[in-house]
Structure 1
Amino acid sequence: MAIGYWIGRGAGAAIALAFAAAGNFVAYWVSDRAVLAMYGAQPANQAAFPRLVAQVDRLASKAGLPPPRVYVIDNDQPNAFATGRNPQHAAIAVTTGLLGTLDEAELAGVIAHELSHIRHRDTLTMTVTATLAGAIGMISNLAIFFGGSDERRSSPFAGIAGLLLLLLAPLTATLVQLAISRTREYAADARAASLTGQPLALARALMRIDEMARWVPNDDAERNPATASLFIVNPLSGTTFDTLFATHPPIRERVARLRHMAQFDASKN
């Protein structure tokens, strides 16, 4: 609304409010289908992907969740994400690269991680924040294009204000997105390790995925970086900018926490 007010005073704020309301509505109801379509995800059936479907059904039952819809993305980069507004309307998508890279225990760890996101409705929070981060960036670009109201344009500070708006609006949205995403990743790792009882298997999976993601591109993710936070490991190419504004905690820190969990479990036994 502040950006809308800068563009067109009261009318601009009203239009921005309507835009935000529509964006939230769409994000809540159809963002899961939009994200799946964005990545060309196809439903996984029992005949074609028996190992995957069986793992999802088994772990969902163990977690006390209804079985989510299962999708496969034809992409060589090993990765996975979950989406959906609640456990009753959830989906898990994995890449063909993931299925070809991980063993049974590692795959179970990844699926358990995504089920943990579903159980605690992280999928809704992360999908909505990704949608809104992209929307704020688009609105800020419109603000620069239209240049604000006549009074704003006549001000000697209009150019400076426009530049700050272009930089700070999407940056602020991104920082909020990062804070939410990083916190939820740590929590999902811990819950996944507890669900499978094999924290080291998830740690191995994270290291494998991270290593391959560095040199196997995910072109769809590069075109839609606002969705990067949905994946279990950052799917972007790893440039300096991507690293600085990474949507995920460092893999070494996630692995260290999982190894600590394994040591603690071993000491109890």
Structure 2
Amino acid sequence: MSLSYVLPTLTYSLAASTLGLLQAIPGAFTGFRHTDSDSARGLLLGIFILTVSALLTLAVSAVFWLASFTLFRVLSRYREYAADRGAVAITGDPAALASALATIDDEMAAAPDHDLRAQDGGLDALYIAPIDETQFKDAPDFVANDVFPQTHPPTEARIERLEAMATEGPT
């Protein structure tokens, strides 16, 4: 999961750098005094090309970031289902895993009383159960969870899959 987050991080960094460059372009005109029109024309052409290039880089970076961030979150969801299948293969008891998931999900509302995710550097894909940000009093509104898929499938969906595995019996 750490390696899969490299592309969104790189594209975000590229976009942030490009935005900084775009914000610095107006400063290029401060203190500028041209002596001839050819120099001024060359400087304006250079700034125009730099601006267009930066805008294109920003747009491409944004598209790649959206795609890679979505892929990262989808991969995380798949990883959770694969971990459930692996746990069932090891233990042979899908009902016990379903019970453990239900217990973890029920206990999530009890602890902690403030959102600690701001301190983890974006490692929410490594959590055992999805964290419902509405359970925290100081949580801001996250647009990402409305736009992008959650990093974890709903616990109810995982439990339903595990219960289906339990009724199917050993494979």
Q: How would you bin the TM-score normalised by the shorter chain? A: 0.5 to 0.7
1:146 to 21, 24, 27: 21
1:127 aligns with 2:2: yes
Q: Distance in 2 between matches of 1:247 and 1:131?
A: 16
Q: Secondary structure, in 3 states, of the residue corresponding to 1:234?
A: coil
RMSD of Structure 2 on Structure 1 (CA): 3.3
Name the structure 2 match of 1:230: 126
CA contact (8 A) 1:133 1:174 kept: yes
Q: Match of 2:3, as an amino acid?
A: V
1:254 to 155, 158, 168: 158
> Normalized against structure 1, the TM-score is what?
0.43
Q: Once the 2 structures are TM-superposed, how far is the Cα of residue 232 of structure 1 from its aligned partner?
A: 1.9
Change (3 A) 1:258 1:136: same
Q: Secondary structure, in 3 states, of the residue corresponding to 2:130?
A: coil
Larger Rg: 2
Name the structure 2 match of 1:204: 99
Q: Once the 2 structures are TM-superposed, how far is the Cα of residue 203 of structure 1 from its aligned partner?
A: 1.3
The answer to which structure has the higher strand fraction is: 1
Q: Secondary structure, in 3 states, of the residue corresponding to 2:133?
A: coil
With CA pairs under 8 Å and 6+ residues apart, which has the higher RCO, 1 or 2?
2
Change (3 A) 1:163 1:127: closer
Q: Distance in 1 between matches of 2:109 and 2:57?
A: 35
Gaps of 5+ in 2: 26-45, 135-140
The count of aligned residue pairs is 139
CA contact (8 A) 1:193 1:202 kept: yes
Q: Once the 2 structures are TM-superposed, how far is the Cα of residue 173 of structure 1 from its aligned partner?
A: 1.8
CA contact (8 A) 1:133 1:173 kept: yes
What aligned pairs does 1:49-198 form with structure 2 within 5 A after superposition? 126-147=1-22, 150=47, 151-153=49-51, 155=52, 161=56, 164-165=59-60, 167-198=62-93
Identity %: 27
Q: Match of 2:153, as an amino acid?
A: P
> Normalized against structure 2, the TM-score is what?
0.63
CA contact (8 A) 2:77 2:153 kept: yes
